[in-house]
Amino acid sequence: MKIVFLDGHTLNPGDLSWDRLKALGDFQAYDRTETKEELYHRAADAEVLIVNKTPLTETDFDHLPRLQLVCVAATGYDVVDVEAARRRGIPVCNAAGYGSRAVAQMATALLLEATTRAGHYAQANRQGFWTNSRDFCCWNNPLIELADKHACIVGYGNIGRHLADILRALGMKLHAVSSKPQEELPPDVQKITLEEAFSTCHVVSLNCPLTPSNREMVNATLLAKANPNLILINTARGRLIDEKAVAQALWENRFAAYCCDVLSHEPPAADNPILTAPRTIVTPHVAWATVEARERIIDILASNIKAYTEGKIQNVVNA
């Protein structure tokens, strides 16, 4: 069985082992696959194709006649035309749950930087901020306590549940925008609408998958209702927000801060408005990339492929 990983560099830049995948067949990993010519040449004989961010379209499937299985090295699978794969009888399996703790940890780190500002002051002190002070302490941005503040998690799945556990420990009052009924949420998590979240909560964290129905759901209309003290966190997908509208709202002081690990195009163009908007904290899509989480991805990929060969397919997103 020929197994090809089209873009393995971000998962394993050399610090992990591919042995679990090599044990399953003729395995080949490429750092990056950036053109269609590379894709078709490298995957021509592949029976199993692994992708992280390399898109697979309906036309691509037409060029891969031997393909039997697609494994996505991530939870989100919007890079794959899953319906086109389904029509061809090709299951698509994701790596759900591998990074729930890691992403929840990053969402918390972004929130803490926006409120406690440890990184901000550490960097300022490298430039003489404290040394030049006349007092024993000094600040140029206020610190904010999170206890008793209201936080809403948009998308109460695996990541949302882990984030709720952390925010609960910080003493925050919890809400959720979720398709789940209230009785399926923890007793201390109150279901509200997205509009209510933006107008009443101090913190809103986006932790939902990107779908055609929620693309740019954070737009100018929604932001017009935002609480001016709102901190918006996005560790899900960049295209959940209208970046121009968010940047404009920040320039107009309509809400307090935008903290994100994702942008609509990655790597971003230099003129992406989020990069230069005030009160933004942007990390380069690294929330998922702890050593432990990346090891779990390899484990899940190997498990998905092994299950498929045994006729017990798992983690299918296009059944």
How far is 257 from 170, CA to CA, in rounded Å? 19
Number of residues in the chain: 319
Burial of residue 27 (CB within 10 Å: 0-12, 13-18, 19+) is: buried
Q: Give the residue numbers annotated as catalytic, written as ranges.
A: 237, 266, 285
The answer to whether the beta carbons of residues 203 and 233 sit under 8 Å apart is: yes
The answer to whether the beta carbons of residues 173 and 150 sit under 8 Å apart is: yes
How far is 12 from 250, CA to CA, in rounded Å? 36
* Torsion sign, CA atoms 17, 21, 24, 25: negative
How is 239-278 classified by DSSP, letter by letter?
GGB-HHHHHHHHHTTSSSEEEES--SSSSPPTT-HHHHST
The answer to whether the beta carbons of residues 231 and 115 sit under 8 Å apart is: yes
Q: Which residues is 93 bridged to in the sheet?
A: 71, 316
Burial of residue 218 (CB within 10 Å: 0-12, 13-18, 19+) is: buried
From residue 101, alpha-carbon distances to 97, 153, 165, 205, 300 in Å are: 9, 15, 10, 15, 16
